[in-house]
Homo-oligomer: A and B are copies of this chain.
Amino acid sequence: MTKPLILITNDDGIDAKGINALIEMIIPIGDVVVFAPDGARSGMSNAITTTSPLRYELVEKHEGLARYSCNGTPTDCVKLALHEVFTRRPDILLSGINHGSNAAVNVIYSGTVGAAFEGCANNIPSIGLSLDNYNQDADFQNLKPYFVKIVNAALREGLPNGVCLNVNAPNTAINGIRICRQTRGYWAEEFDKRIDPNGRNYFWMTGYFKNAEPAVEQTDEWALDNGYIAVVPAKIDMTDYNFIKELEMWKL
């Protein structure tokens, strides 16, 4: 039996601790091709690069593992990897492990999940994997049995075209895995205003997530708050089918 072919990318860059922890977990499962940004690309969502050229280079290659570094966004990396370095479609795409949660509305800003959306747009089963800890030295070790279980299940069961998994782990002892939906909420008070030496204002984006439904057990934030790994199936068809009927009544 041939081993599964696995594409790994991320948004923290190819040298981040998270992606290297993921490679280590996954290498026993299949043949791994890493194609990841050459540096941090957090918050890049599904951004693509069309106004400047993309480049990539082979960093390392040996039996079972090849690593490529690219100057693009996570989504660029997936597109370019599929076009350039694969002779057959990968069996699965894994993005992460992200340093920081991508639960709730973070899904729309996340480069990690963006790469997973790009994967499932190309009909590849795709999973974004994140740990709720922004620290560069975050500890990913206790995630291994859970993440390997999720990856093996996705390889076995497959995923529908256009649907990926957004997996977020708490930065605590882990009580298990929960299937969830995206939590409602938003980011509040997002700028730190400063004055530069020339007297001009500038702004750092900051803020905190306001959970609009903190006690609701089906949400991914609840799972994280209670020590569970949250698995949310996320789809690239963003149509609000329920609202179509109401919109028809606008008589446009």
Contacts and interface: CB of A to CB of B under 8 A. Distances in A.
Contact of A186 (B45, B122, B194): B122
Interface stretch (A14-22, A59-67, A72-80, A135-143): A72-80
A187 B47 CA distance: 14
A209 to B, nearest CB: 11
Report how many copies the assembly holds: 2
Contact of A53 (B47, B203, B234, B248): B203
A contact patch SS: mixed
Interface in A182-204: 182, 184, 186-187, 189-191, 194, 200-204
A119 B165 CA distance: 25
Interface string A94-126: 000000000001011100001001000111000
A88 interface: no
A182 B237 contact: yes
